Amino acid sequence: MLLGATLLPAQTKKIVLYNPGANQVQDFQAVSSKVKIVPANSGNVLREIADADGFIGVITPEMYAASKRLKWVGVMSAGVENILQVPGAEPFKNSDVVLTNNKVVQGIEIADHALALLLYTTRRINEYAVSTAAGEWPRTPFKGIELRGKTAVIIGVGGIGTNIALRCWAFGMHVIGVDPEEKPIVSYIDRVVKPDQLDEVVPLADVVFISAPDTDKSHKMFGAKQFDLMKQHSYFVAVSRGGVYDMNGLVKALDSQKLDGAGVDVTDPEPLPKGHPLYSFKNVVVTPHIAGRSDLDNARMIGTIKENIHRFAEGMPFVNVVDKKKGY
């Protein structure tokens, strides 16, 4: 038996914290005396995870194979494709180990960012920012559009998509959601359709938002065909995962001037390489996967982990449990 295990009381649960931040071990340890938070890095993680009951961080197939009594894995991010869609992930995916994430809690700032990307292009702020930065005062005819009365199709109506829908509704837009799950009737979403009805609603969209997780079923679900179905002069915004849409289809839709603008915080691949065609369009805004950051997001994400540490210590059901078969 490992020495670390012999030092722990019988009732204490060992939780390995992978690559902890400053003071994070102490912060998490303060949640409960019934757990022992043990820091780990690439040099000792395989040894520490062997007798761990819980693991906080992105677990690899090699780490899972080294574990003997693991019951819980908690990740700070909302997306879990870097755990469930990597080669060798099947043993963990098919196990009884509970996986939790930070879905829902990141929806607020990402929805803010999604609307910022849309407004940056619909109000042509990107173009004027270049001119005014050069000390110019352009008075050419302004071709911005207003959002009231326009239709938004939101692919993925979870924590992010719901918050996007609320903001679109506040702008006076009609909102159609696309989601595999049954959703409650709410005043700010006109209707929700299943993914197999995507092609029916895409032609109605003045703007399409990508806010779905990247799973086996959603990967590249918005492909070249769907870009072809989009309305002339429409807009495209992606803020969840770049793997959900086809990059070549987006470039083609922009190059043919079907789309009047696009804003993407997520791409496939990431980072988007220098010289990529997407950078060359004046009506496109690219941000480097930072939509989930804000002055308040870290406290919410840490809060979810702390809540689950408490629940793990007390034998209570976890929050934000991922369905590993579905991928979200």
Q: Where are the alpha helices (DSSP H) in 243-296?
A: 247-255
Find out whether 121 and 260 touch, Cβ atoms under 8 Å. yes
Nearest Cα neighbor of 149 from 124, 178, 185, 175 is 175
Beta bridge partners of 35: 13
Mean pLDDT per 10-residue segment, the chain (328 residues) = 43 95 96 98 98 98 98 95 96 98 92 98 89 87 92 97 98 98 96 98 98 96 98 98 98 98 98 96 96 93 97 97 95
Question: Looking at residue 292, what DSSP letter applies?
Answer: T
Joined tokens for residue 176: 């159609």
Q: Which domains can be identified in the chain, with CATH numbers? A: 3-104+296-314 (3.40.50.720), 107-286 (3.40.50.720)
Residue 187: C-alpha distances to residues 34, 87, 165, 168 (Å)? 44, 42, 10, 12
What's the pLDDT score for residue 104? 86
pLDDT at site 126: 84
SS (H, E, C) 182-213: CCCCCCCCCEEECHHHHHHHHHHCCEEEECCC
* Bridge partners for 176 per DSSP: 153, 191
Residues 6+ positions from 26 with CB-CB distance below 8 Å: none
Q: What is the pLDDT of residue 4?
A: 39
Question: Would you give the distance in Å from CA 231 to the centre of its chain?
Answer: 26
User: How many angstroms separate the CA atoms of 127 and 11, rounded?
Assistant: 62
User: What is the structure's pLDDT at 138?
Assistant: 85
Cα dihedral sign for 262, 263, 268, 271?
Answer: positive
End-to-end CA distance of the chain: 36
